[in-house]
Homo-oligomer: A and B are copies of this chain.
Protein backbone atom coordinates (compact mmCIF):
# COMPACT_ATOMS: atom_id res chain seq x y z
CA UNK A 1 0.00 0.00 0.00
CA UNK A 2 2.94 2.32 -0.44
CA UNK A 3 2.34 4.13 -3.71
CA UNK A 4 -1.36 4.66 -3.54
CA UNK A 5 -2.96 7.65 -5.09
CA UNK A 6 -5.47 9.34 -2.83
CA UNK A 7 -9.01 9.34 -4.09
CA UNK A 8 -12.17 10.76 -2.67
CA UNK A 9 -14.09 7.76 -1.43
CA UNK A 10 -17.47 7.07 -2.97
CA UNK A 11 -19.84 4.19 -3.65
CA UNK A 12 -20.70 2.61 -6.94
CA UNK A 13 -24.12 3.94 -7.98
CA UNK A 14 -27.13 2.05 -6.68
CA UNK A 15 -25.17 0.46 -3.81
CA UNK A 16 -25.21 1.31 -0.12
CA UNK A 17 -23.18 1.22 3.04
CA UNK A 18 -25.06 0.49 6.24
CA UNK A 19 -24.25 2.23 9.51
CA UNK A 20 -24.25 0.12 12.69
CA UNK A 21 -27.71 1.42 13.67
CA UNK A 22 -29.07 0.50 10.23
CA UNK A 23 -27.55 -2.98 10.33
CA UNK A 24 -29.13 -3.48 13.77
CA UNK A 25 -32.55 -2.57 12.38
CA UNK A 26 -32.14 -4.72 9.30
CA UNK A 27 -31.04 -7.62 11.49
CA UNK A 28 -34.12 -7.07 13.62
CA UNK A 29 -36.28 -7.65 10.54
CA UNK A 30 -34.19 -10.59 9.30
CA UNK A 31 -34.12 -12.25 12.72
CA UNK A 32 -37.88 -11.90 13.17
CA UNK A 33 -38.50 -13.52 9.80
CA UNK A 34 -35.88 -16.24 10.30
CA UNK A 35 -37.31 -17.23 13.66
CA UNK A 36 -40.77 -17.72 12.14
CA UNK A 37 -39.38 -19.56 9.11
CA UNK A 38 -37.47 -21.96 11.34
CA UNK A 39 -40.43 -22.57 13.61
CA UNK A 40 -42.39 -23.60 10.52
CA UNK A 41 -39.69 -26.01 9.37
CA UNK A 42 -37.97 -23.95 6.71
CA UNK A 43 -34.21 -24.42 6.56
CA UNK A 44 -31.70 -21.87 5.38
CA UNK A 45 -29.59 -22.46 2.29
CA UNK A 46 -26.89 -20.41 0.58
CA UNK A 47 -25.93 -20.18 -3.06
CA UNK A 48 -23.06 -18.19 -4.53
CA UNK A 49 -23.40 -14.60 -5.73
CA UNK A 50 -21.59 -15.62 -8.91
CA UNK A 51 -23.40 -17.98 -11.27
CA UNK A 52 -22.53 -19.12 -14.77
CA UNK A 53 -24.20 -16.85 -17.30
CA UNK A 54 -25.68 -19.93 -18.96
CA UNK A 55 -27.59 -20.53 -15.72
CA UNK A 56 -28.96 -17.01 -15.62
CA UNK A 57 -29.49 -16.00 -19.23
CA UNK A 58 -32.93 -16.45 -20.78
CA UNK A 59 -34.75 -16.82 -17.47
CA UNK A 60 -35.88 -13.23 -16.98
CA UNK A 61 -36.95 -12.23 -20.46
CA UNK A 62 -35.02 -9.97 -22.83
CA UNK A 63 -35.21 -7.01 -20.45
CA UNK A 64 -33.93 -9.12 -17.59
CA UNK A 65 -30.97 -10.36 -19.60
CA UNK A 66 -29.93 -6.76 -20.14
CA UNK A 67 -30.05 -6.15 -16.40
CA UNK A 68 -27.69 -9.01 -15.55
CA UNK A 69 -24.32 -7.89 -14.21
CA UNK A 70 -21.69 -9.77 -16.21
CA UNK A 71 -18.20 -10.48 -14.93
CA UNK A 72 -15.25 -10.01 -17.21
CA UNK A 73 -13.23 -13.19 -17.72
CA UNK A 74 -9.81 -13.18 -16.08
CA UNK A 75 -6.53 -12.90 -17.94
CA UNK A 76 -6.32 -12.11 -21.63
CA UNK A 77 -10.08 -12.05 -22.11
CA UNK A 78 -9.97 -10.59 -25.63
CA UNK A 79 -7.89 -13.37 -27.11
CA UNK A 80 -10.85 -15.53 -28.14
CA UNK A 81 -12.98 -12.76 -29.63
CA UNK A 82 -13.12 -13.05 -33.43
CA UNK A 83 -11.23 -10.16 -35.00
CA UNK A 84 -14.25 -9.00 -36.96
CA UNK A 85 -16.38 -8.66 -33.82
CA UNK A 86 -13.79 -6.38 -32.28
CA UNK A 87 -13.42 -4.29 -35.40
CA UNK A 88 -17.18 -3.88 -35.52
CA UNK A 89 -17.20 -2.94 -31.81
CA UNK A 90 -20.40 -4.91 -31.42
CA UNK A 91 -20.95 -5.04 -27.69
CA UNK A 92 -23.88 -7.40 -27.77
CA UNK A 93 -22.26 -10.15 -29.78
CA UNK A 94 -18.90 -9.75 -28.03
CA UNK A 95 -20.21 -10.44 -24.53
CA UNK A 96 -20.36 -14.21 -24.90
CA UNK A 97 -16.61 -14.31 -25.62
CA UNK A 98 -15.47 -12.15 -22.73
CA UNK A 99 -17.88 -12.94 -19.90
CA UNK A 100 -18.99 -16.38 -18.74
CA UNK A 101 -20.08 -15.46 -15.22
CA UNK A 102 -22.65 -13.09 -13.78
CA UNK A 103 -24.18 -11.96 -10.52
CA UNK A 104 -27.43 -13.62 -9.49
CA UNK A 105 -30.52 -11.61 -10.43
CA UNK A 106 -32.83 -13.24 -7.90
CA UNK A 107 -32.92 -16.23 -5.55
CA UNK A 108 -35.43 -18.22 -7.60
CA UNK A 109 -33.34 -19.38 -10.56
CA UNK A 110 -30.50 -20.34 -8.19
CA UNK A 111 -33.10 -22.33 -6.20
CA UNK A 112 -34.15 -24.21 -9.34
CA UNK A 113 -30.51 -25.01 -10.14
CA UNK A 114 -29.87 -25.99 -6.51
CA UNK A 115 -32.84 -28.35 -6.27
CA UNK A 116 -31.91 -30.20 -9.45
CA UNK A 117 -28.23 -30.33 -8.59
CA UNK A 118 -28.65 -31.51 -4.99
CA UNK A 119 -31.90 -33.45 -5.22
CA UNK A 120 -30.34 -36.59 -3.76
CA UNK A 121 -29.20 -34.73 -0.65
CA UNK A 122 -32.43 -32.89 0.11
CA UNK A 123 -35.44 -33.87 2.20
CA UNK A 124 -38.66 -33.56 0.17
CA UNK A 125 -40.98 -31.72 0.42
CA UNK A 126 -38.04 -29.35 0.43
CA UNK A 127 -38.76 -26.33 2.60
CA UNK A 128 -36.02 -23.79 2.32
CA UNK A 129 -35.50 -20.15 3.00
CA UNK A 130 -32.82 -17.96 1.54
CA UNK A 131 -31.88 -14.40 2.45
CA UNK A 132 -29.21 -12.64 0.49
CA UNK A 133 -28.25 -9.89 -1.91
CA UNK A 134 -29.11 -9.94 -5.60
CA UNK A 135 -27.91 -7.59 -8.31
CA UNK A 136 -29.67 -5.79 -11.16
CA UNK A 137 -28.24 -3.18 -13.50
CA UNK A 138 -31.42 -1.14 -13.16
CA UNK A 139 -31.37 2.65 -13.23
CA UNK A 140 -31.14 3.51 -9.51
CA UNK A 141 -33.89 5.67 -8.04
CA UNK A 142 -35.53 6.25 -4.68
CA UNK A 143 -36.04 2.83 -3.12
CA UNK A 144 -34.48 1.00 -6.07
CA UNK A 145 -30.94 -0.25 -5.83
CA UNK A 146 -28.53 -2.21 -7.98
CA UNK A 147 -27.65 -4.38 -5.00
CA UNK A 148 -30.49 -5.30 -2.66
CA UNK A 149 -31.66 -8.15 -0.46
CA UNK A 150 -34.26 -10.76 -1.24
CA UNK A 151 -35.83 -12.98 1.37
CA UNK A 152 -37.69 -16.04 0.10
CA UNK A 153 -39.33 -19.14 1.53
CA UNK A 154 -40.45 -21.94 -0.78
CA UNK A 155 -41.82 -25.47 -0.55
CA UNK A 156 -40.79 -27.70 -3.44
CA UNK A 157 -42.45 -31.03 -4.14
CA UNK A 158 -45.79 -30.91 -2.37
CA UNK A 159 -49.19 -30.24 -3.92
CA UNK A 160 -51.05 -29.88 -0.65
CA UNK A 161 -52.96 -26.64 -0.30
CA UNK A 162 -51.96 -26.59 3.35
CA UNK A 163 -48.64 -25.22 2.13
CA UNK A 164 -50.45 -22.14 0.90
CA UNK A 165 -52.22 -21.90 4.25
CA UNK A 166 -48.90 -22.20 6.06
CA UNK A 167 -47.26 -19.49 3.99
CA UNK A 168 -50.14 -17.09 4.59
CA UNK A 169 -49.88 -17.83 8.32
CA UNK A 170 -46.17 -17.02 8.14
CA UNK A 171 -46.99 -13.65 6.58
CA UNK A 172 -49.55 -12.94 9.31
CA UNK A 173 -47.15 -13.97 12.07
CA UNK A 174 -44.15 -12.02 10.78
CA UNK A 175 -46.04 -8.79 10.22
CA UNK A 176 -47.76 -9.16 13.57
CA UNK A 177 -44.35 -9.54 15.25
CA UNK A 178 -42.99 -6.55 13.36
CA UNK A 179 -46.07 -4.53 14.25
CA UNK A 180 -46.83 -3.67 10.62
CA UNK A 181 -50.53 -3.56 9.79
CA UNK A 182 -51.07 -5.33 6.47
CA UNK A 183 -53.69 -6.85 4.22
CA UNK A 184 -52.85 -10.06 2.44
CA UNK A 185 -54.57 -10.14 -0.91
CA UNK A 186 -55.00 -13.36 -2.79
CA UNK A 187 -56.23 -14.60 -6.13
CA UNK A 188 -55.71 -17.72 -8.22
CA UNK A 189 -54.05 -17.89 -11.59
CA UNK A 190 -56.53 -20.50 -12.82
CA UNK A 191 -59.40 -18.09 -12.07
CA UNK A 192 -57.63 -15.51 -14.20
CA UNK A 193 -57.03 -18.17 -16.85
CA UNK A 194 -60.75 -18.96 -16.89
CA UNK A 195 -61.60 -15.27 -17.25
CA UNK A 196 -59.05 -14.98 -20.07
CA UNK A 197 -60.70 -17.98 -21.70
CA UNK A 198 -64.06 -16.19 -21.55
CA UNK A 199 -62.37 -13.15 -23.03
CA UNK A 200 -60.65 -15.35 -25.59
CA UNK A 201 -57.41 -13.65 -24.72
CA UNK A 202 -53.96 -14.91 -23.91
CA UNK A 203 -53.79 -15.15 -20.09
CA UNK A 204 -50.49 -13.24 -19.85
CA UNK A 205 -51.82 -10.36 -21.92
CA UNK A 206 -55.11 -10.45 -20.00
CA UNK A 207 -53.29 -10.33 -16.67
CA UNK A 208 -50.81 -7.66 -17.66
CA UNK A 209 -53.70 -5.30 -18.33
CA UNK A 210 -55.67 -6.40 -15.26
CA UNK A 211 -52.57 -5.90 -13.12
CA UNK A 212 -52.91 -2.16 -13.70
CA UNK A 213 -56.28 -2.01 -11.89
CA UNK A 214 -54.48 -0.63 -8.83
CA UNK A 215 -53.31 2.38 -10.79
CA UNK A 216 -55.90 2.98 -13.52
CA UNK A 217 -59.00 1.46 -11.80
CA UNK A 218 -61.13 -1.31 -13.26
CA UNK A 219 -62.79 1.13 -15.65
CA UNK A 220 -59.40 1.98 -17.05
CA UNK A 221 -58.68 -1.71 -17.44
CA UNK A 222 -61.85 -2.21 -19.47
CA UNK A 223 -61.01 0.78 -21.65
CA UNK A 224 -57.76 -0.96 -22.47
CA UNK A 225 -59.50 -4.27 -23.11
CA UNK A 226 -61.83 -2.38 -25.43
CA UNK A 227 -58.87 -0.95 -27.34
CA UNK A 228 -57.41 -4.43 -27.54
CA UNK A 229 -60.58 -5.50 -29.34
CA UNK A 230 -62.42 -7.51 -26.71
CA UNK A 231 -65.95 -8.27 -28.03
CA UNK A 232 -68.63 -6.17 -26.40
CA UNK A 233 -70.70 -9.09 -25.07
CA UNK A 234 -67.58 -10.48 -23.43
CA UNK A 235 -66.85 -7.11 -21.88
CA UNK A 236 -70.33 -6.99 -20.48
CA UNK A 237 -70.18 -10.40 -18.90
CA UNK A 238 -66.73 -9.72 -17.44
CA UNK A 239 -67.90 -6.44 -16.06
CA UNK A 240 -70.80 -8.21 -14.44
CA UNK A 241 -68.31 -10.58 -12.81
CA UNK A 242 -66.29 -7.70 -11.48
CA UNK A 243 -69.17 -5.50 -10.41
CA UNK A 244 -72.20 -7.64 -9.57
CA UNK A 245 -70.37 -9.74 -7.06
CA UNK A 246 -68.11 -8.30 -4.38
CA UNK A 247 -64.65 -8.49 -5.91
CA UNK A 248 -63.28 -9.05 -2.41
CA UNK A 249 -65.40 -12.04 -1.42
CA UNK A 250 -64.56 -15.24 -3.12
CA UNK A 251 -67.74 -16.99 -1.94
CA UNK A 252 -69.74 -14.89 -4.39
CA UNK A 253 -67.66 -16.31 -7.21
CA UNK A 254 -68.37 -19.91 -6.30
CA UNK A 255 -70.60 -20.65 -9.27
CA UNK A 256 -69.45 -18.26 -11.95
CA UNK A 257 -67.52 -20.93 -13.79
CA UNK A 258 -70.15 -23.50 -13.04
CA UNK A 259 -73.04 -22.19 -15.09
CA UNK A 260 -73.87 -18.95 -13.30
CA UNK A 261 -72.39 -16.85 -16.08
CA UNK A 262 -74.87 -16.55 -18.93
CA UNK A 263 -74.20 -14.75 -22.21
CA UNK A 264 -76.94 -12.76 -23.96
CA UNK A 265 -77.34 -15.52 -26.52
CA UNK A 266 -78.10 -17.96 -23.75
CA UNK A 267 -74.76 -19.75 -23.70
CA UNK A 268 -73.66 -20.45 -20.17
CA UNK A 269 -70.10 -20.89 -19.18
CA UNK A 270 -68.52 -23.94 -17.58
CA UNK A 271 -64.82 -23.92 -16.79
CA UNK A 272 -63.69 -26.89 -14.74
CA UNK A 273 -60.22 -25.66 -13.78
CA UNK A 274 -61.55 -22.22 -13.00
CA UNK A 275 -64.20 -23.72 -10.77
CA UNK A 276 -61.69 -25.93 -8.98
CA UNK A 277 -59.46 -22.90 -8.45
CA UNK A 278 -62.32 -21.12 -6.72
CA UNK A 279 -63.02 -24.14 -4.51
CA UNK A 280 -59.30 -24.40 -3.69
CA UNK A 281 -59.04 -20.72 -2.88
CA UNK A 282 -62.10 -20.95 -0.64
CA UNK A 283 -60.59 -23.93 1.15
CA UNK A 284 -57.35 -22.08 1.75
CA UNK A 285 -59.14 -18.99 2.99
CA UNK A 286 -61.40 -20.96 5.31
CA UNK A 287 -58.51 -22.93 6.73
CA UNK A 288 -56.56 -19.74 7.45
CA UNK A 289 -59.65 -18.32 9.18
CA UNK A 290 -60.25 -21.46 11.24
CA UNK A 291 -56.69 -21.39 12.48
CA UNK A 292 -56.50 -17.72 13.20
CA UNK A 293 -59.89 -17.52 14.90
CA UNK A 294 -61.33 -14.89 12.62
CA UNK A 295 -58.46 -12.49 13.34
CA UNK A 296 -57.69 -12.62 9.68
CA UNK A 297 -61.14 -11.68 8.44
CA UNK A 298 -59.88 -8.22 7.68
CA UNK A 299 -56.32 -9.21 7.04
CA UNK A 300 -56.77 -11.83 4.31
CA UNK A 301 -58.77 -10.67 1.37
CA UNK A 302 -59.63 -12.09 -2.02
CA UNK A 303 -58.97 -9.66 -4.87
CA UNK A 304 -60.15 -10.66 -8.34
CA UNK A 305 -58.00 -7.93 -9.89
CA UNK A 306 -54.75 -9.16 -8.33
CA UNK A 307 -52.62 -10.60 -11.12
CA UNK A 308 -48.92 -10.26 -10.13
CA UNK A 309 -46.34 -9.64 -12.77
CA UNK A 310 -44.32 -12.81 -12.86
CA UNK A 311 -45.60 -15.22 -15.40
CA UNK A 312 -44.53 -18.46 -13.86
CA UNK A 313 -47.30 -18.64 -11.24
CA UNK A 314 -49.98 -21.22 -11.95
CA UNK A 315 -51.98 -21.50 -8.71
CA UNK A 316 -52.79 -19.27 -5.76
CA UNK A 317 -51.10 -15.88 -5.79
CA UNK A 318 -50.71 -13.57 -2.81
CA UNK A 319 -49.54 -10.05 -2.22
CA UNK A 320 -48.99 -8.07 1.00
CA UNK A 321 -50.08 -4.46 1.17
CA UNK A 322 -49.31 -2.07 4.04
CA UNK A 323 -52.53 -0.59 5.39
CA UNK A 324 -51.44 2.85 6.51
CA UNK A 325 -48.66 3.79 4.14
CA UNK A 326 -48.54 4.57 0.46
CA UNK A 327 -45.98 2.06 -0.76
CA UNK A 328 -45.76 -0.86 -3.16
CA UNK A 329 -46.33 -4.41 -1.94
CA UNK A 330 -44.31 -5.64 1.06
CA UNK A 331 -44.22 -9.17 -0.24
CA UNK A 332 -45.73 -11.59 -2.65
CA UNK A 333 -45.73 -15.13 -3.86
CA UNK A 334 -47.70 -18.03 -5.18
CA UNK A 335 -47.70 -21.52 -6.58
CA UNK A 336 -45.78 -22.41 -9.71
CA UNK A 337 -45.35 -25.65 -11.60
CA UNK A 338 -42.29 -25.76 -13.76
CA UNK A 339 -39.49 -24.29 -11.74
CA UNK A 340 -36.96 -27.08 -12.03
CA UNK A 341 -37.84 -27.97 -15.61
CA UNK A 342 -35.38 -25.46 -17.05
CA UNK A 343 -32.55 -27.46 -15.52
CA UNK A 344 -33.91 -30.81 -16.62
CA UNK A 345 -35.42 -31.59 -13.23
CA UNK A 346 -38.60 -33.58 -12.96
CA UNK A 347 -41.69 -31.50 -12.79
CA UNK A 348 -42.14 -30.54 -9.15
CA UNK A 349 -44.78 -28.17 -7.93
CA UNK A 350 -43.57 -25.35 -5.78
CA UNK A 351 -45.10 -22.59 -3.73
CA UNK A 352 -43.31 -19.68 -2.16
CA UNK A 353 -43.43 -16.23 -0.67
CA UNK A 354 -40.97 -13.41 -0.46
CA UNK A 355 -40.54 -10.47 1.87
CA UNK A 356 -39.70 -7.06 0.45
CA UNK A 357 -37.07 -6.27 3.05
CA UNK A 358 -36.15 -2.83 1.78
CA UNK A 359 -39.76 -1.63 1.76
CA UNK A 360 -40.55 -3.22 5.11
CA UNK A 361 -37.59 -1.27 6.50
CA UNK A 362 -38.91 1.97 5.00
CA UNK A 363 -42.44 1.39 6.35
CA UNK A 364 -41.12 0.60 9.83
CA UNK A 365 -38.99 3.73 9.78
CA UNK A 366 -41.88 5.88 8.59
CA UNK A 367 -44.22 4.54 11.28
CA UNK A 368 -41.46 4.41 13.96
CA UNK A 369 -42.03 0.71 14.52
CA UNK A 370 -38.49 -0.27 15.44
CA UNK A 371 -38.01 -0.90 19.18
CA UNK A 372 -36.05 1.92 20.79
CA UNK A 373 -33.16 -0.30 21.84
CA UNK A 374 -32.57 -3.12 19.46
CA UNK A 375 -30.61 -5.92 21.14
CA UNK A 376 -27.80 -3.74 22.43
CA UNK A 377 -24.60 -5.68 22.77
CA UNK A 378 -23.20 -3.40 25.47
CA UNK A 379 -24.95 -2.34 28.68
CA UNK A 380 -22.14 -0.62 30.59
CA UNK A 381 -19.36 1.73 29.48
CA UNK A 382 -16.41 1.94 31.88
CA UNK A 383 -14.42 5.15 31.59
CA UNK A 384 -10.91 5.26 33.14
CA UNK A 385 -10.13 8.83 34.28
CA UNK A 386 -6.44 8.47 33.42
CA UNK A 387 -3.97 5.88 32.23
CA UNK A 388 -2.93 4.87 35.76
CA UNK A 389 -6.30 3.23 36.33
CA UNK A 390 -6.71 1.77 32.81
CA UNK A 391 -5.74 -1.76 33.67
CA UNK A 392 -7.86 -1.82 36.80
CA UNK A 393 -10.81 -0.46 34.81
CA UNK A 394 -10.22 -3.04 32.15
CA UNK A 395 -10.43 -5.79 34.78
CA UNK A 396 -13.82 -4.49 35.93
CA UNK A 397 -15.02 -4.48 32.34
CA UNK A 398 -13.86 -8.03 31.98
CA UNK A 399 -15.65 -9.08 35.18
CA UNK A 400 -18.94 -7.96 33.66
CA UNK A 401 -18.25 -9.77 30.40
CA UNK A 402 -17.43 -12.94 32.31
CA UNK A 403 -20.81 -12.57 34.01
CA UNK A 404 -22.42 -12.54 30.57
CA UNK A 405 -22.99 -8.79 30.37
CA UNK A 406 -21.81 -6.79 27.39
CA UNK A 407 -19.40 -4.14 28.62
CA UNK A 408 -16.85 -1.76 27.17
CA UNK A 409 -13.93 0.29 28.33
CA UNK A 410 -13.69 3.73 26.72
CA UNK A 411 -10.21 4.04 25.22
CA UNK A 412 -10.67 7.37 23.46
CA UNK A 413 -9.78 10.83 24.64
CA UNK A 414 -11.43 11.18 28.05
CA UNK A 415 -10.53 14.83 28.56
CA UNK A 416 -12.80 15.92 25.75
CA UNK A 417 -15.79 14.30 27.50
CA UNK A 418 -16.40 12.33 24.36
CA UNK A 419 -17.43 9.34 26.41
CA UNK A 420 -20.97 10.72 26.74
CA UNK A 421 -21.39 11.16 23.00
CA UNK A 422 -19.91 7.71 22.59
CA UNK A 423 -22.39 6.10 24.99
CA UNK A 424 -25.25 7.93 23.32
CA UNK A 425 -24.25 6.98 19.78
CA UNK A 426 -23.85 3.34 20.76
CA UNK A 427 -27.00 3.36 22.86
CA UNK A 428 -25.18 2.20 25.99
CA UNK A 429 -27.41 2.39 29.06
CA UNK A 430 -24.89 2.94 31.89
CA UNK A 431 -21.60 4.71 32.44
CA UNK A 432 -19.12 3.98 35.26
CA UNK A 433 -16.21 6.37 35.63
CA UNK A 434 -13.15 4.98 37.37
CA UNK A 435 -10.42 7.00 39.07
CA UNK A 436 -7.95 6.52 41.92
CA UNK A 437 -10.70 6.58 44.58
CA UNK A 438 -12.67 3.84 42.91
CA UNK A 439 -9.53 1.75 42.49
CA UNK A 440 -8.85 2.15 46.21
CA UNK A 441 -12.38 1.52 47.51
CA UNK A 442 -13.64 -0.83 44.81
CA UNK A 443 -16.94 1.04 45.04
CA UNK A 444 -18.38 2.62 41.93
CA UNK A 445 -20.91 5.16 40.80
CA UNK A 446 -23.38 3.82 38.19
CA UNK A 447 -24.74 6.54 35.98
CA UNK A 448 -27.77 6.10 33.72
CA UNK A 449 -26.51 7.52 30.45
CA UNK A 450 -29.92 8.83 29.44
CA UNK A 451 -31.47 10.17 32.64
CA UNK A 452 -28.06 10.97 34.18
CA UNK A 453 -29.39 9.50 37.46
CA UNK A 454 -26.63 7.94 39.54
CA UNK A 455 -26.31 5.33 42.23
CA UNK A 456 -23.20 5.40 44.37
CA UNK A 457 -21.14 3.03 46.49
CA UNK A 458 -21.83 -0.05 44.41
CA UNK A 459 -19.51 -3.01 44.33
CA UNK A 460 -18.88 -4.62 40.95
CA UNK A 461 -21.13 -7.50 42.01
CA UNK A 462 -23.92 -5.06 42.80
CA UNK A 463 -23.49 -3.45 39.39
CA UNK A 464 -23.82 -6.87 37.79
CA UNK A 465 -27.05 -7.46 39.72
CA UNK A 466 -28.44 -4.04 38.78
CA UNK A 467 -27.88 -4.24 35.05
CA UNK A 468 -28.49 -7.92 34.48
Contact = CB atoms under 8 A, between A and B. Distances in A.
Contact of A121 (B19, B27, B94, B421): B19
Contacts of A232: none
B74 A71 contact: no
Contacts of A165: 394
A49 interface: yes
A118 B113 CA distance: 39
A343 B11 CA distance: 12
Interface string A5-44: 1111111100111111001101100000000011111111
Contacts of A287: 391, 394
A201 interface: no
A91 interface: yes
A89 B99 contact: no
B7 A343 contact: yes
Contacts of A23: 43-46
B78 A94 contact: yes
A54 B5 CA distance: 10
Contacts of A122: 19, 425
Contact of A425 (B55, B70, B95, B123): B123
A41 B377 contact: yes
A226 to B, nearest CB: 28
A131 B426 CA distance: 19
Given A117-B10, A169-B398, A17 B46 contact: yes
Given A1-B311, A6-B341, A48-B17, A89 B81 contact: yes
Contacts of A72: 69-72, 95, 98-99
Interface stretch (A154-162, A191-199, A443-451, A454-462): A154-162
Contacts of A163: 411
Interface stretch (A182-190, A247-255, A316-324, A400-408): A400-408
Contact of A87 (B16, B66, B86): B86
A438 interface: no
A147 B342 contact: no
Copies in the complex: 2
Given A50-B147, A89-B81, A412-B158, A8 B343 contact: yes
A240 interface: no
Interface in A51-105: 51-52, 54-55, 58-59, 66-67, 69-72, 74-79, 81, 83, 86-87, 89-92, 94-95, 98-101, 103
A297 to B, nearest CB: 17
Contacts of A75: 91
A290 interface: yes
Contacts of A180: none
B411 A125 contact: yes
A62 to B, nearest CB: 11
Contact of A46 (B18, B66, B426): B18
A25 to B, nearest CB: 11
Contacts of A398: 169, 291
6 contacts: A6-B343, A8-B344, A17-B45, A27-B44, A40-B401, A41-B426
Interface of A: 1-12, 15-20, 23-24, 26-27, 37-52, 54-55, 58-59, 66-67, 69-72, 74-79, 81, 83, 86-87, 89-92, 94-95, 98-101, 103, 112-114, 116-118, 121-125, 127-128, 133, 135, 137, 146-147, 155, 157-158, 160, 162-163, 165-166, 169, 287, 290-291, 311-312, 338, 341-344, 377-378, 390-391, 394-395, 398, 401, 404-409, 411-412, 418, 421-422, 425-426
